[in-house]
Amino acid sequence: MAKIAVLGFGVVGSGTVELFYKNKNKIVEKAGTDLDIKYILDIRDFPGSPFEGKFTKDINDILNDDEVTLVAEVMGGVNPAFDFVKSCLERGKSVVSSNKELVAKKGAELLKTAKEHNCNFLFEASTGGAIPIIRPLHQCLAANDITAVAGILNGTTNFILTKMINENMPFAEALSTAQKLGYAEKDPTADVEGHDACRKICILSSLVFGKHVYPDWVHCEGISSITAEDAQYAENWGGAVKLIGSVKRTADGKILPIVRPAFVCGANQLSSVNDVFNGIMVYGDAIDQVMFYGRGAGKFPTASAIVADLIDAAKMKGTSISQVWEDSKDNSFIADYKEDVLPFYVRVQGVSKDKAKEVFGEVEFLTRNNCPADEIAFITPEIKEKDFDEKLAQLGGKVLGTIRVLNLES
Ligand code: HSE
């Protein structure tokens, strides 16, 4: 018998509790032991809730109750989640979490604490929502030398881009719909500016390459500069513009994590991942490529991963199964993104095609409907990022947009 405490009764917390009771019989059978939710921690009141008797506002009720051996942290944010999670682990209570900010900023420390207290800190729900990716990376794909991971890691921005491009929905309306559907963060700037995807690529990078990658070390750009015109050029090129979080090992043995909008070619399956769905490609020496796909945000998709972690934690009572990665003293193992070599999309006004070729060499010109006569757009050959800015300045004219082209090969 194990008792569970759920920290936070927001979108994911309420989804966790509802899903648990909906499928309790199956969940208990799979866990191999009786389970029940004893506490729900939240500072708010929920009068009339069917779970009314379970609410507490005091974390000490949970910390001091030896019957509680499993904790689901679904509060979000680092404070006070970090103190609560650490205190639970120090008492030997396994914690499962959907909190990407917490894992990205404090993962190494919490994993170490879990190991020291012979319990588990699991966070399948932190990345990719419903998609199994954490466990596959450190278990099913463990035999591989993984060289790169690239994905659409934020459901809200993918939803917004899909609505803006396919349905001509204005940005503000697409964002407010994503908020209503429970996809967006409390502060949706984290979605729009790429910080949420950044936290997720930090988690995947730490997991794959074994050293903690902190968000401050990762170059991060969001979707706010993408226009409908850029999307149309991408579509006519046969691909799509997507917010991509990726990490790859570079020739000098460092790693390059980055979050940015990218032109994704049609041959890459990520180009057809739409709506709130996430897609994650993993590249390894034995597998070539494996793709993971599913709903990346939302109440029940995320709750699915939380409850599955609770089941695993219950089954593994008394053993520490969670992956541990080293903390990192500095970022010397992170490559400078300016040294990366890749093609760029450029949209510019008042520049001739000849001038574009003179500056960049063999460019590929793109088309869009109703393109003004003085506008051109093209894809450059591969170029070192730090040289790209200089070349762009040589073009003259008015630059209307530049977007990197996804390239994990160089
Ligand atoms: N705001 C996040 C997203 C929630 O849209 O992907 C899931 O992590």
- CATH number of 174's domain: 3.30.360.10
What is the number of structural domains in the chain?
Answer: 3
Residue 408 has pLDDT above 90, yes or no: no
Q: Are 151 and 280 in contact (CB under 8 A)?
A: yes
Q: What is the pLDDT of residue 245?
A: 98
Domain boundary among 228, 261, 295: 295
Q: Give how far Cα 25 sits from Cα of 32, 34, 37, 170, 306, Å.
A: 11, 9, 13, 44, 17
pLDDT at 318: 82
Residue 189 placed within a domain: yes
161 with 273, same domain: the answer is yes
The DSSP element (H or E) to which 147 belongs, if any, is strand 146-152
Q: Assess whether the C-beta atom of 230 lies below 6 angstroms from ligand 1.
A: no
* 170 domain residue, yes or no: yes
Residues 122 and 139 in one domain: no
**Using one digit for the tens of pLDDT, what is the confidence trace for 146-164?**
999 999 999 999 999 999 9
Together in a domain, 204 and 120 = no
Token pair 């970022």 in the structure block, residue:
331
Q: What is the pTM of this model?
A: 0.97
Taking only the tens place, the pLDDT of each residue in 103-148 is 999 999 999 999 999 999 999 999 999 999 999 999 999 999 999 9
Which of 315, 349, 384 corresponds to the end of one domain? 315
Rounded to whole angstroms, the Cα distance separating 261 from 273 reads 14
The confidence score (pLDDT) of residue 409 equals 65
| pLDDT confidence bin for 262, thresholds 50/70/90 | very high
* Whether residue 190 is found in the same domain as residue 272: yes
User: What CATH number is attached to the domain comprising 349?
Assistant: 3.30.70
- For residue 334, give the 3-state DSSP assignment: strand
| Predicted pLDDT at 301 | 98
Q: Both 89 and 142 in a single domain?
A: no
Best residue for ligand 1 mutational test, from 185, 204, 242 (most atoms within 8 Å of Cβ): 185
* Closest residue CA from atom 7 of ligand 1: 297
- State the CATH number of the domain containing residue 70: 3.40.50.720
Asked if residue 410 has pLDDT above 60, the reply is no
The residue written with tokens 């080293």 in the block is 326
Rounded Cα distance, 129 and 319, in Å: 26
Distances (CA, A) of 99 to 21, 23, 30, 34, 43: 22, 23, 25, 26, 18
pLDDT at 331 exceeding the cut of 90: yes
Indicate whether residue 129 lines ligand 1 (CB < 6 A).
yes
**Same structural domain, 158 and 237:** yes
Whether 322 shows a pLDDT value over 80: the answer reads: no
My answer on whether 244 and 168 are in the same domain is: yes
pLDDT of residue 364: 98
Q: In whole angstroms, give the CA distance from residue 17 to residue 22.
A: 9
Give exposure, 336-347, as e/b (b: 16+ Cβ within 10 Å).
ebeebebbbbbb
Q: Is residue 328 part of a domain?
A: no
The rounded Å distance from CA 369 to ligand 1 centre is: 33
The verdict on 97 and 235 lying in the same domain is no
**Residue 198 burial (C-beta neighbours within 10 Å; 0-12, 13-18, 19+):** buried
Average pLDDT over residues 332-345: 97
Q: Is residue 50 assigned to a domain?
A: yes
Residue 323 binned pLDDT confidence (cut-offs 50, 70, 90) = confident
Query: Side chain identity at 149, as an amino acid letter?
Result: V
Q: Tokens representing 340?
A: 């990366």
Q: Is residue 362 part of a domain?
A: yes
Residue 122 sits in the same domain as residue 151? no
Give dist(CA 231, CA 245) in Å, integer. Answer: 18
Bond preceding residue 136 cis, omega within 30 of 0 = no
Q: How far is the CA of 338 from the centre of ligand 1 (A)?
A: 28
Span from the CA of 155 to the centroid of ligand 1 (angstroms) = 5
Which residue among 152, 177, 196, 202 has the greatest number of ligand 1 atoms within 8 angstroms of its CB, and so is best to mutate? 196
Print the domain residue range for 381. 338-404
Beta strand 383-384 pairing with 341-342: antiparallel
Nearest CA among 350, 348, 361, 388 for reference residue 233? 348
> Which residue, chain included where needed, has tokens 């012979």?
118
Is the domain of 14 the same as that of 75?
yes
Q: Mean of the per-residue pLDDT values for the chain?
A: 96
Share of the chain above pLDDT 90, in %: 96
pLDDT mean over 398-405? 98
Alpha carbon nearest to ligand 1 atom 1, residue: 184
Task: Based on the fold, state whether residues 253 and 308 are members of the same structural domain.
Answer: no
Does residue 232 fall inside a structural domain?
yes
Asked whether 159 lines ligand 1 (CB < 6 A), one says no
Closest of 71, 148, 85 to residue 309, by C-alpha: 71
Amino acid (1-letter code) at residue 308 = A
What lies within 8 Å, CB to CB, of 96 at 6+ separation is: 70, 71, 72, 73, 120, 121, 122, 123, 124, 125, 306, 309, 310, 313
Which tokens in the block code for residue 167? 């349905």
Q: Do 291 and 304 share a structural domain?
A: no
CA–centroid distance, residue 307 to ligand 1 (Å): 18
Q: How far is the CA of 297 from the centre of ligand 1 (A)?
A: 5
Report percent pLDDT > 70 for the chain.
99
**Is residue 409 in some structural domain?**
no
pLDDT confidence of residue 332 = 98
Segment 188-230, tens digit of pLDDT: 999 999 999 999 999 999 999 999 999 999 999 999 999 999 9
In a domain, 305, yes or no: yes
Query: Which structure tokens are listed for 116?
Result: 């020291």
Give me the active site residues, please. Answer: 200
| Ligand 1 atom closest to Cα of residue 297 | 7
Structure-token pair, residue 356:
């574009």
Tokens 């490559």 found at: 335
For the stretch 9-26, pLDDT in tens is 999 999 999 999 999 999
